[in-house]
Amino acid sequence: MSDSHPLEIPGMVAVSGGCGGLSRVCVTSPCSTAEIYPHGAHVTGFRKNGEPPLLFMSDSSVFRTGKAIRGGIPIIFPWFGDREGHPAHGYARTAEWEFHDSSVLADGSIRLVFRLPASGNFEVMSLVTVGECLSLELDVRNAGESDETFENCFHTYFEVGDIDTVSIHGLTGCGYFDKVASKTRIETAASIRIAGEVDRVYSGTTATVEITDPTLGRTIRVAKSGSASTVVWNPWIAKSKAMADFGDNEYRRMVCVESGNVGEDKVTLSPGDQSTLKMEISSGDAG
């Protein structure tokens, strides 16, 4: 009797045991590979053929129920940040999502669908499309009888060659809350450089952000829709040492550029309404 998973597609979608014995879905498209854990519907890897990984994964990440994977793309829902008596960044990233569907699209890219088990009045699906780019879509519907308010975010960890040489473009003129200085500011730099801990929530921006990485000779493009917030985070030295699931020097080869709706941009849905958060990650020459 075949013990293959019903959603496997020979040569394209395979389900196996991953780190920590957690289930892992491996995707092979004509031009890229990816891996996703139903634990958090968490994309832990994306790589275009012949290129370095686009996503950073901590070598110290743990893989166990109830704990968020460190790296890749944690799905933040229904709240961002700390909440007294509740897990930071909501419960979606530590939930066991149902692997719901798999398909090959007309352009040869491969689409996976994950469903968050019943979470109050929300019906939540995550769609992951693997091809020349990596696209994620988070669909949230209010199945209740009254308005529901939530925050959502793709908390994406990008792999970079050397944080000292990276510059981030697309947020000039945007207002942001600087969580390190606890101050509200306006971004005046034409490009953002990272030379210490950075933890900024940019509000009211729908802009595409580009991460220029001369060390790896590429520019990563983060396009989005249904998102009014962008978060930029690098823990730098002290915070890196304080995280057990993050290497002391790993801050040097990662930066988070996160796409969602956070704080003043939080979403309120009327009964029956749906919100769709989309992000598309691509890469090209540094130019």
**Per CB under 6 A, does 73 bind ligand TA6?**
no
- Closest-CA residue to 283 (of 127, 126, 55): 55
CA 185/CA 29 separation, integer angstroms: 42
The answer to whether 55 touches 72, Cβ cutoff 8 Å, is: yes
Which sign does the torsion angle of CA 67, 70, 72, 73 carry?
Answer: positive
> Please, what is the minimum distance in Å from the beta carbon of residue 205 to ligand TA6?
15
Q: Which of 159, 210, 258, 265 binds ligand TA6 (CB under 6 A)?
A: 258
CA 212/CA 216 separation, integer angstroms: 9
Task: Verify whether residue 39 is a known catalytic residue.
Answer: no
- Count other Cβ atoms within 10 Å, centred on residue 89: 22
Residue 140 amino acid letter: V
CA 267/CA 39 separation, integer angstroms: 25
- Of 81-89, 164-172, 188-196, 265-273: span binding ligand TA6 (CB under 6 A): 81-89
CA 211/CA 8 separation, integer angstroms: 34
**Per CB under 6 A, does 237 bind ligand TA6?**
no
**Per CB under 6 A, does 88 bind ligand TA6?**
yes
Task: Verify whether residue 155 is a known catalytic residue.
Answer: yes
Q: Which of 13, 57, 68, 133 binds ligand TA6 (CB under 6 A)?
A: 68
**For ligand TA6, the closer CB: 73 or 110:** 73
Q: Which of 113, 192, 220, 231 binds ligand TA6 (CB under 6 A)?
A: 231
Task: Give me the catalytic one of 39, 42, 89, 155.
Answer: 155
**Per CB under 6 A, does 20 bind ligand TA6?**
no
**Per CB under 6 A, does 181 bind ligand TA6?**
no
The answer to whether 266 touches 150, Cβ cutoff 8 Å, is: yes
Subset of residues 113 to 142 that bind ligand TA6, contact rule: CB under 6 A: none
**For ligand TA6, the closer CB: 89 or 278:** 89
Size of the residue set binding ligand TA6 (CB under 6 A): 11
Reading across the β-sheet that carries 110-119, which strands appear in turn? 98-104, 110-119, 122-130, 134-142, 274-285, 218-225, 209-213, 167-169, 192-193
> Please, what is the minimum distance in Å from the beta carbon of residue 81 to ligand TA6?
5
Task: Point out the residues that are catalytic.
Answer: 155, 258
Under the rule (CB under 6 A), what is the footprint of ligand TA6?
A: 68, 81, 88-89, 155, 179, 199, 231, 233, 256, 258
